[in-house]
Amino acid sequence: MKPKRRKDALVVHELPEEMLVYDLERHKAFCLSRNIAWIWRHCTGQRTPGQIARALEAEIGAPVGEDVMGVALHRLSKAHLLREPIGLPAASARSSRRQLLRHAATLGGLTILAISAPTVGQAATCVPAGTCVNSACKDASGRVCCSGASSCRQNSMVCGTGQTGFQCM
Amino acid sequence: MTLTAASASRTRLGGLAAGALSSAWRPSPPPLALTAGELSEVEPVLLGAGAGGLGWGRIRGSGLESTPAGAAFHQAYRHQALAYLLRRTRIAEVVQRLRGAGIEPIMGKGWALARLYPEPGLRPCGDIDLYVGRQDYAAAALALRGEIGELVDLHCGFAELDDRDEAELRARSRLATAGEVTVRIFGPEDHLRLVALHALRHGLLRPLWLCDVAVALESAAADFDWDYFARGPYRRADWVFVALEAAHAILGARIEAVAAGRRRVRLPSWLVPAVLREWGAARPPQGARVPIADLLRQPGALGRALLLRWPNAIEATIGLGSPFNELPRLPLQIGECLRRTFLFSVRRAHGPITPAGHRG
């Protein structure tokens, strides 16, 4: 198996300590810590996990077990960042989760963090014109249209059908 | 808690927010002088104001990154960094739709301001604010049907720059690259003026707006035309310089950038406390409040909504076209309240005054 990273429909932003990835198909955003970003970048479809692990060892000057590499690839796969899905390697079943995490931590972490919108920011009490709402002119959080509680109209072309087929005016 | 104590508490919180945001728009801001406890206090204020990314810019490298507030600011920064890149694509699509209809919009605020910050992620992109001449508004709204409101704020005319000639605004505008296309943005003089007047008109409600004034001020190049910037009705020019001085006094913006010899206005003594109190209160801005008309039959909610809308001293000064001086603001605030009530009544009787889709 030679893992290959997905390139289509992704927006990638590299920062000094991490990499931000936005999936345009699933509308999900991730933050890859430095080492897992390095692994993902080297999933070119030309190297086996073992070869990538050895290259990472050379890069960071610390041992990288195959178990840890397997977990990293599985996490990338679960985030739909690889072309082919990769399951958790059988070998990892032998290592305890705690051991794996400790090992991963020595590498500076192998985390993929989901990025969500700041929760307090944009704390609007109503929703602006153009927003898709339900037939009671309310969005999923129960906020009414800023233009008024009866100021939405059916617009299935934009908002789809059913409960979301209305749009604030 | 007494009213005085509540006011003091808000002013203190606003002061902490000002401390957290001081110089936050610069590539290498000085070390932050807040404790972890103070940062925690100010977290909801900054996040609520869309200044979480700037908060991150200020605390990274300070040892406060791993605090809960630090983690929240970091998430805001990441979110905004990606949003900045994604927004370029949407801007390109929207601008091309307008160009397809033969209309060349000018962009301001939002992304056009975010690009002045040293890195994506510090400032949220907000709406796509597009300005078109009144004669083009109907055609532009038609070209953008389905887009206006959700993401695009299409302005009929040039809002706070309505004392400028459209031809001059266009002649002074610049081109900026948004992904694959170039978009027209206001020239630096007009943009700073727009940002300053917009922030004042909304009572400097959000700390982010004063950071915008600071970043636009410090971005002024050597060829910035201060005479053109100050040109126009005397009072309005005065207001613009009040905004610059406020950015200097509250956030430490470098006012020396203002051309030598240009008059400096003196801030009235009530202004800085009023701004800090407002920041500490963290009121939602206009456009993010439930309309009064929907609350007329809910007395409790109506009372709260009216309190939320009580104009602060700055809003009242601008709303009534008054000067910033040491005279008491309460009469102006009452006057502004009456003016708004009158406008509300007229709107209720005759329908909206401003064209649909036009929001401040």
Per-residue pLDDT of chain B (360 residues; tens, 9 = 90+): 677 888 888 999 999 999 999 999 999 998 888 999 999 999 999 998 899 999 999 999 888 988 999 999 999 999 999 999 889 888 999 999 999 999 999 999 999 999 999 999 999 988 899 999 999 999 999 999 877 766 889 999 999 999 999 999 999 999 999 988 999 999 999 999 999 999 999 999 999 999 999 999 999 998 999 999 999 998 999 999 999 999 999 999 998 878 666 667 889 999 999 999 999 988 776 655 666 666 666 767 767 777 778 899 999 999 999 999 999 999 999 999 899 888 888 877 776 544 443 433
- Of B267, B262, B223, the C-alpha closest to B245 is B267
- A contacts of B86 (beta carbons < 8 Å): 11, 22
State whether A144 and B294 contact (CB < 8 Å). yes
The pLDDT value given to residue B210: 97
CB contact under 8 A, B85 and A13: yes
Q: How far is A127 from chain B (nearest CA, A)?
A: 7
Min CA distance, B181 vs chain A (Å)?
A: 17
In chain B, what residues touch A130 (CB-CB under 8 Å)? Answer: 146-152
Nearest CA in chain B to A129: B149
Question: A134: closest CA among A110, A153, A148?
Answer: A153
Pairwise CA distance, residues B302 & B285, whole Å: 17
pLDDT at position A158 is 60
CA distance B328 to B310: 16
Q: Tell me how close the Cα of A29 comes to any Cα of chain B, in angstroms.
A: 8
Size of interface A-B (CB pairs under 8 A): 98
pLDDT for res A124: 44
Nearest CA in chain B to A142: B290
Tokens of B175: 């081109």
Cβ-based neighbours of B202, under 8 Å, separated by 6 or more: B209, B285, B286, B315, B360
Can you give the pLDDT at residue A103?
A: 67
How does strand B128-132 pair with strand B152-156?
parallel
Question: With an 8 Å Cβ cutoff, are A119 and B120 in contact?
Answer: no
User: In this complex, is the C-beta atom of B50 within 8 Å of any C-beta atom belonging to chain A?
Assistant: yes
Output the pLDDT for position A160: 61
Q: A3 pLDDT exceeds 90? A: yes
Nearest to B65 by CA among A168, A18, A54: A18
B-chain residue closest to A120, CA distance: B48
Contacting residues of B for A168, CB less than 8 Å apart: 149
A104, pLDDT greater than 60: yes
Contacts of A22 in chain B (CB under 8 A): 82, 85-86
Q: What is the pLDDT of residues B109-141, one digit of tens each?
A: 999 999 999 999 999 988 899 999 999 999 999
The pLDDT, as a whole number, for residue B27 is 93
Give the pLDDT confidence of A30-87 residue by residue, as tens digits. Answer: 999 988 999 999 999 999 999 999 999 898 888 888 888 888 898 899 999 999 988 8
**Which residues share a beta bridge with B283?**
none
The candidate with the shortest Cα–Cα distance to B287, out of B129, B133, B145, B79, is B129
A125 vs B149: CB contact, 8 Å cut-off? Answer: no
- C-alpha B19/C-alpha B13 separation (Å) is 10
Q: What does the DSSP 8-state code read for residue A95? A: S
> By the 8 A CB rule, do B280 and B14 touch?
yes
Q: What pLDDT score does B286 carry?
A: 63
Measured in angstroms, the CA of B44 and the nearest CA of chain A are apart by: 6
- B50/A11 Cβ within 8 A: no
Is some CB atom of chain A closer than 8 A to the CB atom of B284?
yes
Across the interface, whether the CB atoms of A123 and B284 are under 8 A apart is answered yes
Closest-CA residue to B185 (of B128, B229, B142):
B128
Q: Does A133 touch chain B (CB under 8 A)?
A: no
8 Å CB contact between B81 and A20 = yes
Phi, psi of A135 (to 5 degrees): -65, -15
pLDDT in tens, A109-167: 667 788 765 554 333 445 656 667 777 777 665 666 655 666 677 766 666 654 456 77
Amino acid A167: pLDDT: 72
CB contact under 8 A, A123 and B293: no
**Smallest Cα–Cα separation from B257: which of B266, B268, B242, B245?**
B245
User: CA A29 to CA B82: how far, in whole Å?
Assistant: 8
Return the closest-CA partner of residue B186 out of B256, B110, B251.
B110
Q: Please return the burial class of B264, using the count of CB atoms within 10 Å of its CB with bins 0-12, 13-18 and 19+.
A: exposed
